[in-house]
A and B are shown apart, each in its own frame.
Chain A
Amino acid sequence: MLKIEDYKVVFASVGLIGVLLFASSTLGLVLRLPGGERFSELWVLGPGHMAEDYPFNVKADVSYLVYVGVGNHMGSSAYYVVYVKFRNQSEALPNATAGTPSPLNATAEYRIFLQGGESWEAPLTFSFLGNQSLIQSLIVNNVEFAVNKTALWDGENNGYYYQLFMELWIYNVEFQAFEFHNRFVGLWLNMTGV
């Protein structure tokens, strides 16, 4: 049989647990526990909403369709901008190591607001005007943008290559400015068959 002092400890423990249980509803409002890892997703899918059948061998005056998507796992609402950029092989891509965007000007853009845990996806149609070594215009979602990009023959891969890529930027409330979110996806486009 336990001694009275042992029962006293049991009663004190029950009392403490009970008080904590009653206080938990208030503590839940006051204490903020750290959430999980915060990140955003950026993706591009083929015309069938799958990671396949991406346009690669492309021709002028033909329209191509892909889907661009963004996922918000930042734990709160976020304001994103997706910049659509177009480059030839000699122009710079974003630097993922340094976290810097491509210095190229955006051709088109999407502005997206997402609550935490939500995702967004939109079609991106594009076509070209020009020939294999000179793309004069890029038509994105039926808006024609003058690009005037030239490409040199790539002897290693036997073709004239361009890249359509998307950069994800996020609005930083603290600094009241957009910053590159170090996410980008791109499509290599072989214009040799123009």
Chain B
Amino acid sequence: MKGLCGRFVKAPLLFLLIIMVFSLSLTRLPFCVSAGDEASSAIGEADDALRRAFEAVLEAERAGANVSDLIVKLDEAGGLLAEAENAYRVGNFSEAVSRAEGCSILANGVVGEALSLQNMALADAQTAFWQNLTFSCFGGAAFLVVLFFVWGWFKRVYAQRMLSMKPEVASDVED
């Protein structure tokens, strides 16, 4: 009787143990796959962040900002992304994730700086434009006014010179 009870208790335990071992063996493969997926996803995010950062820097450059420092940071972030891609190719997923995350952090920082530089450059460009326009308008107008007075003075001088000239009578060659 005791042996029969023991058997009834052991059978579910054995069954439970088999289920646990089986489920663990099943979870091992997804774990490997998910490490690769995580790395791939981190690299994808870093790639997107770097592209956005570059586009922001390019916009700032077009607005007239000095983007030398940002290009250095982008280059650093690009180096990290390249290392992440290389690590992913050789199956070193943990390093790939680490490098990709480093790249994302740097790239996201660059976006903010690029936007602020772009705004400053646009404000500076607007100020410079209005200053130049004012200079062109007032300078050009002043120049024309001065030229007009000079023209008036010149006309008077020219007329006086013409009036002070003695008429010359040409002799008749035939006579």
Contacts and interface: CB of A to CB of B under 8 A. Distances in A.
A173 B55 contact: yes
Given A4-B158, A77-B58, A79-B50, 5 more contacts: A8-B151, A79-B51, A79-B74, A114-B71, A171-B51
Interface in A110-149: 110-115, 140, 143-146
Contact of A111 (B58, B79, B125): B79
Interface in B61-77: 61-62, 67-68, 71, 74-75
A173 B140 contact: no
A173 B58 CA distance: 9
A22 interface: yes
Interface in A97-117: 106-115
Contacts of B128: 29
Interface stretch (B13-21, B22-30, B131-139): B131-139
A77 B71 contact: yes
Interface residues of A, number: 35
B155 interface: yes
B136 A15 contact: no
Dominant secondary structure at the A interface: mixed
Contacts of A114: 71
Interface string A1-31: 0001001100100110011001101100100
B55 A22 contact: no
A164 to B, nearest CB: 15
Contacts of A107: 89
B153 to A, nearest CB: 11
Interface of B: 50-51, 54-55, 57-58, 61-62, 67-68, 71, 74-75, 78-79, 81-82, 85-87, 89-90, 125, 128-129, 132-133, 135-136, 139-140, 143-144, 147, 150-151, 154-155, 158
Nearest to B158: A4
A77 B90 contact: no
A57 interface: no
A140 B86 CA distance: 10
A23 B143 CA distance: 12
A77 to B, nearest CB: 6
A76 interface: yes
Given A25-B135, A29-B128, A143-B86, A171 B54 contact: yes
A176 interface: yes
Nearest to A116: B61
A120 B29 CA distance: 43
